[in-house]
Amino acid sequence: MRDALTNSMRASHVLALVLLAAGLMFAAFGAVTNDTFYLRLATEALIFGGLALAVDILLGYTGLLSLGQAMFFGLGAYVAAVVLIAIPSFWLAFGAALVAGILTGLIGGFIANRVRGVYFALITFGMAQVVAKVIYNTRSLGASDGLIGVPIVKINFGLFAVSSDNPVGFFLFTMAYVGALYLIAAYILDTPFGRLLIALKANERRVPFLGYHATSARLAAYVLAATIASLSGALYPMLRGFASPELLFFATSGNAVITVITGGAGTLIGAIYGSVLLTVIKSYVGSWTEHHLIVIGILFMLVVIFLPNGLMGVVRPWVEKLLARKTRS
Amino acid sequence: MSGPVLEARELSIRFGGLRAVDNVSFAVERNLVTTVIGPNGAGKSTLFNLISGLARPQHGTVFIEGKPYRNAQPHQMQKAGLARSFQITNLFFDLPVAENLRLAAQVLEPKRLWTMPVSASRRAAEVVEQLLERFGLQDKAGYLAGALSHGEQRRLEIAVALACRPKILLLDEPTQGMSHGDTEHTAGLIRSLTSDVTVLLIEHDIGLVMSISDQVIVMHQGQKLAEGKPAEVRANPAVQTAYFGHA
Ligand SMILES: Nc1ncnc2c1ncn2[C@@H]1O[C@H](COP(=O)(O)OP(=O)(O)OP(=O)(O)O)[C@@H](O)[C@H]1O
Ligand SMILES: [Mg+2]
């Protein structure tokens, strides 16, 4: 008998493949039509999808509502920007964002994990506001203007290189990068450690009696999510050439939560679908009204009321059944 | 190894002015069933909380195989070989029955499997299969724990506690709310466990207590009132006054 949770994760992988195929088609179309705008927009959707992935690890798997995940995303962006301005090396920027994500995740986790529930949400919110304000007022980081002048970076893979100013190349690279973050998260969530996070969400009070220190497990989940957010943020200055304080603001954190809930919390791939969907809606609605936030707000309410498990909450069980039937026959 | 497998020495805790557990000491011998009885509010569950690390005693020490545990946390008591079930069903209701058991069994796996997919956890999978069968839950393996009937949830509650292969098992009113047939069956099950675990039980059904216990501890208003073989305890006049309500 195959594990039900493993089976659900496989269904997510099938849906990830569908998205990958769509992405490749989109890239081919963009290449043929010599598009820049939509490829860049789609790249941005994937980068923010990485942030949503981090939120889903906390919200959908560990049962923690973070209202400040953008802090780690923004820190990753600033760290990468600072490194790239000094030395335009992708791998150096990547390494710096990785270390920054782990360290700030540990610090933030020590603070936020002292409390639960609403208080956890408020503390994560507060920490992000404080850090955002500090950056906003730091002249050497460009203050309210943000850190501009991030150079074009050549991402060297030995056999070939991708330049961040090549719309198709950088889109494909971002797809592979966020795809790797997704696969790492999916792998971890299917290990005994990952199941422990799922257990924390289901019933935190029983976890200690299974022989685990619940607070440590929660901290580990927090660090993992911080690292994924930071690594996602690191791509932002490569795409846009700057990092701005808005990346750390509540709008960014809140948007990531909306993305996860719309896409389907606790499905992982829902984070990416949600991000793509919201980006499409924003750019479409934004073309005929400035008030796209109203539309997003109404859409979000409709999702919460009619699709409480999000888009993937509807689609994934259907794929699961398909998979189950296939293994049985 | 000789000596008691579990010993409580002078355990005490008070909540405000209430002495919920008051200077309670006892020892439990290996592979026996020891039952704690006493009227509602006597402090039985609180005693379990003190032993399992859920509550910290203001005074006293718990010994497992002679080793002292003072102010240990629940996960440390689990490592020491102690597992417990709860009076109020405390399961992972949103997860499948099999996953409830697998989660509890995963500590049995070597550390290196911690970072491998759970499908590599053969030992845990074996334990899950055994327990599903032993507790008659095979047909319900894929159900969410929250979707089980009350009796099934109570059985799963015991099975989850057993899944980490403890040396000492604390069961807080395992048959609470069960049908008569289920209660009989569970009593037989508990008795059969003693081939490899030592059981400390809280139970209200006096018939069941008399039939499955090797040793009985009577609690009353936080204190240990009496201790002995079931028949001895039943004949004790103080116990009859306090507990059975007549002398
Ligand atoms: N956390 C707590 N805070 C305050 N009082 C408590 C707490 N836990 C238990 N008590 C009190 O301690 C006393 C003993 O409670 P306990 O649950 O141990 O009784 P019990 O013997 O298990 O009873 P029952 O048979 O009803 O389960 C009760 O008066 C209870 O109200
Ligand atoms: Mg009780």
For residue range A231-289, list pLDDT tens digits in order.
Answer: 999 999 999 999 999 999 999 999 999 999 999 999 999 999 999 999 998 888 877 77
Q: How far is CA B18 from CA A153, B56, B59, B62, B217, in A?
A: 69, 15, 15, 21, 21
Mind listing the pLDDT tens digit for each residue in B195-214? 889 999 999 888 899 999 99
**Pocket lining: B15 vs ligand 1, CB cutoff 6 Å:** yes
ipTM for the complex shown: 0.93
Q: What does the longest C-alpha to C-alpha distance in chain A come to?
A: 65
Q: Where are the domains of chain A?
A: 2-328
How far is it, in rounded angstroms, from Cα A68 to Cα A123? 8
The distance from CA A59 to its chain's CA centroid, rounded to whole angstroms, is: 12
The DSSP call for residue A150 is P
User: Cβ B78–A210 below 8 Å, yes or no?
Assistant: yes
Structure tokens at A211: 């022989």
Residue type, A273: Y
Residue A142: the pLDDT is 82
A206 interaction partners in chain B (CB closer than 8 Å): 90-92, 160
Instruction: Over range A89-100, report the average pLDDT.
Output: 97
Residue-level length of chain A = 329
Domain that holds residue B100: 93-165
Does B132 lie at the interface with A, CB-CB under 8 angstroms?
no
CB contact residues (below 8 A), chain B span 73-102, against chain A: 73-75, 78-79, 83-84, 90-96, 98-99, 102
Domain boundary residue among B112, B145, B165? B165
Structure tokens at B192: 């059969």
What's the pTM? 0.94
Same domain, residue pair B69 and B182: yes
Domain count, chain B: 2
Domain boundary residue among B132, B165, B198? B165
Determine the 3-state secondary structure of B82 from DSSP.
Answer: strand
Nearest to B107 among A1, A203, A211 (CB): A211
Question: Ligand 2 is a single-atom ion; what residues have CB below 5 A from it?
Answer: B 45, 87
**Pocket lining: B45 vs ligand 1, CB cutoff 6 Å:** yes
Domain boundary residue among B119, B143, B165? B165
Sheet order of strands, B223-228 included: B82-84, B168-172, B198-202, B33-37, B215-220, B223-228
Same domain, residue pair B98 and B69: no
- Residue B52 in any domain: the answer is yes
- Residue B46 in any domain: the answer is yes
- Residue B87 in any domain: the answer is no
CATH 3.10.350 corresponds to the domain A2-328: no
Q: How many C-alpha atoms does A175 have within 13 Å on its Cβ side?
A: 24
Mind listing the pLDDT tens digit for each residue in A151-195? 999 888 888 888 899 999 999 999 999 999 999 999 999 999 999
The distance from CA A228 to its chain's CA centroid, rounded to whole angstroms, is: 7
pLDDT > 70: percent of chain B: 97
